[in-house]
Copies of this chain bind each other. A is one copy, B any other.
Amino acid sequence: MRYVDAIRIGILGCGTVGGGVVRVLAENQDEIARKLGVPIVVKKVLVKNLSKERSIDLNPRVLTTNAGEILDDDEIDVVVEVIGGVNPAKQYALSALDAGKHVVTANKELVAKHGRELWEAAERTRTAFRFEGSVAAGIPIIKALHECLASNRISEISGIVNGTTNYILTKMAREGWEFEQALADAQHKGYAESDPSSDIDGLDAAYKLAILASVGFGVEVAPGQIYTEGIRKVSKTDIQYARELGYEIKLLAIAKLDGEGLQVRVHPTFVPAWHPLASVNDSFNAIFVRGNAVGSLMFYGRGAGAGPTASAVLSDIMDVARGLSHNGRHYRPEVFKPWGGRLDVQRMEEIETRYYVRLQVVDRPGVLAVIAKAFGDNHVSLESVIQKGTGSPVVGLVFITHLVKEKNLRSALACIRTLSVVKEIASVIRVETGIEADVQRYPHD
């Protein structure tokens, strides 16, 4: 039995995040050692290429191209997995846990797809599996849901969890740009990758939502169960209409629990301008949580980047170290298992929400009546209508509906599509009213 004199870590991957962990650890090592009582020492770092030039200051003897040198090193207490993707990350994480090592990861895809399996492996081997950095980087939302709000029944987790799309939507709103121009700017600034699809099509947000729902509701949600719609179709015109109507358009990841079951969806959303999420701009992330005791909370910050992600990874390591027994092995049980339970995920057609519908129609008397009837015939009641550009042969017609089942809206749109006076269904965007301001349920003290 070895008394813990230092927490020795092995880092799998030395890209942006891995490099950030090394850099922040070097920068804050005194602070960390003072708080923890022992230092965190980087024993090995797995890299692809030993000879590559690196901006970070690392003893070359620490670098290795052989994962085994980390996974089989009995002196390494914690393995930090920051390779990304499922393979070989998953196998590495599993063998680390089986070897009695604690695993800290920032890998959203891995946790979203295989979190349950990894968690159970950690339970079996009495090790820790931590993943704060996998959602919204340094914003401590995982620990908030897992520990700080554990006494609540959570009813909603709605957030802006992808900085790239939020940057694009912010630019479109501020500069009056179309999507393509804002995307090009985001790529130029390094916020979006050359292949941006994982961000702008909502996959990245869906991975994060799967993790948030698992921790917040204690159930397993597969990314495939999440309705996912990106921002490619959001136009400058829609953003202008949204603002006229008192909304901002945000890509929201929404998990809600109601009598019908769990809703999990990612899509562009009209958010009321007064809502705290509406003023989250640029590449910032924010997650709004509602619990039955705590009411509404919002967590705001940088949702990506080497520094913020390293903050989460290193704090996870410190937290693991704190839970270790003197021999550095046995780990205290977690308060609860995020993937413990089961909940039915609601079918999208059954979900009730409000909608913004923008049509291009022929400017002719009676058109509005025909379209309104098509809505009515399908049990879609309308809250407001805006007609613009009268005079030109084709004009924009904008509707906001009341709460309506998605399947009813779809059938209404199917009818409307067949109308000769309708040139185009230009856009359909959900309007969220579920995220209302919290009404306090208990007397104020």
- Using a CB–CB cutoff of 8 Å, the interface residues on chain A facing chain B are 15-17, 20, 23-25, 27-28, 31-32, 34-36, 132, 137-140, 143-144, 147-153, 163, 190-191, 218, 276, 279-280, 283, 291-302, 304-312, 314-315, 317-319, 322-323, 332-336, 340, 438, 440-445
* Apart from the given pairs A295-B307, A308-B442, 6 other A-B contacts in the complex at a CB distance below 8 Å: A24-B293, A140-B149, A276-B300, A296-B302, A298-B301, A306-B443
Interface contact B315-A147, CB-CB below 8 Å: yes
Interface contact B16-A307, CB-CB below 8 Å: no
Closest CB in chain B relative to A40 CB, distance in Å: 9
Closest CB in chain B relative to A346 CB, distance in Å: 21
Closest CB in chain B relative to A257 CB, distance in Å: 12
A191 and B153 alpha carbons, distance in the complex (Å): 26
In the complex, chain B residues whose CB is within 8 Å of the CB of A25: 151
Which B residue sits closest to A141, measured CB to CB?
Answer: B148
Contacting A28 at CB < 8 Å: which of B140, B292, B306, B332? B292
In the complex, chain B residues whose CB is within 8 Å of the CB of A334: 322
Which B residue sits closest to A15, measured CB to CB?
Answer: B445
Closest CB in chain B relative to A157 CB, distance in Å: 14
Contacting A335 at CB < 8 Å: which of B294, B295, B322? B322
A132-B148, A295-B307, A296-B301 are known contacts. Are A283 and B444 too (CB-CB below 8 A)?
A: yes
In the complex, chain B residues whose CB is within 8 Å of the CB of A291: 138, 311
Interface contact A297-B138, CB-CB below 8 Å: yes
Interface contact B293-A310, CB-CB below 8 Å: yes
User: What number of copies of this chain does the assembly contain?
Assistant: 2
Sampled A-B contacts (5; CB under 8 Å): A28-B293, A140-B140, A150-B318, A151-B314, A279-B279
In the complex, chain B residues whose CB is within 8 Å of the CB of A293: 20, 24, 27-28, 138, 307-308, 310-311, 314
Closest CB in chain B relative to A422 CB, distance in Å: 39
Closest CB in chain B relative to A36 CB, distance in Å: 7
Interface contact B149-A315, CB-CB below 8 Å: yes
Contacting A35 at CB < 8 Å: which of B150, B283, B315? B150
A149-B140, A150-B318, A315-B150 are known contacts. Are A36 and B335 too (CB-CB below 8 A)?
A: yes
A298 and B140 alpha carbons, distance in the complex (Å): 11
A304 and B442 alpha carbons, distance in the complex (Å): 10
Contacting A319 at CB < 8 Å: which of B16, B24, B335, B438? B335
Interface contact A31-B153, CB-CB below 8 Å: yes
A301 and B300 alpha carbons, distance in the complex (Å): 11
Closest CB in chain B relative to A303 CB, distance in Å: 10
A281 and B191 alpha carbons, distance in the complex (Å): 31
In the complex, chain B residues whose CB is within 8 Å of the CB of A442: 16, 20, 23, 305-308, 310
Which B residue sits closest to A144, measured CB to CB?
Answer: B140
In the complex, chain B residues whose CB is within 8 Å of the CB of A139: 297
Interface contact B305-A16, CB-CB below 8 Å: no
Contacting A336 at CB < 8 Å: which of B35, B163, B300, B332? B35
A408 and B57 alpha carbons, distance in the complex (Å): 45
Contacting A445 at CB < 8 Å: which of B153, B294, B304? B304
Closest CB in chain B relative to A441 CB, distance in Å: 5
Interface contact B151-A315, CB-CB below 8 Å: yes
Contacting A301 at CB < 8 Å: which of B17, B294, B304, B308? B294
Interface contact A191-B444, CB-CB below 8 Å: yes
Contacting A305 at CB < 8 Å: which of B308, B319, B440? B440
Interface contact B143-A309, CB-CB below 8 Å: no
Which 7 A/B pairs are nearest by Cβ-Cβ distance?
A140-B148, A151-B314, A138-B294, A35-B336, A306-B442, A307-B442, A16-B445
Closest CB in chain B relative to A224 CB, distance in Å: 25
Closest CB in chain B relative to A38 CB, distance in Å: 11
In the complex, chain B residues whose CB is within 8 Å of the CB of A147: 143, 315, 318-319
A25 and B293 alpha carbons, distance in the complex (Å): 10
In the complex, chain B residues whose CB is within 8 Å of the CB of A190: 443-444
Interface contact B35-A218, CB-CB below 8 Å: yes
In the complex, chain B residues whose CB is within 8 Å of the CB of A31: 151-153
A32-B151, A143-B143, A302-B294 are known contacts. Are A440 and B307 too (CB-CB below 8 A)?
A: yes
In the complex, chain B residues whose CB is within 8 Å of the CB of A315: 147-152
In the complex, chain B residues whose CB is within 8 Å of the CB of A191: 444
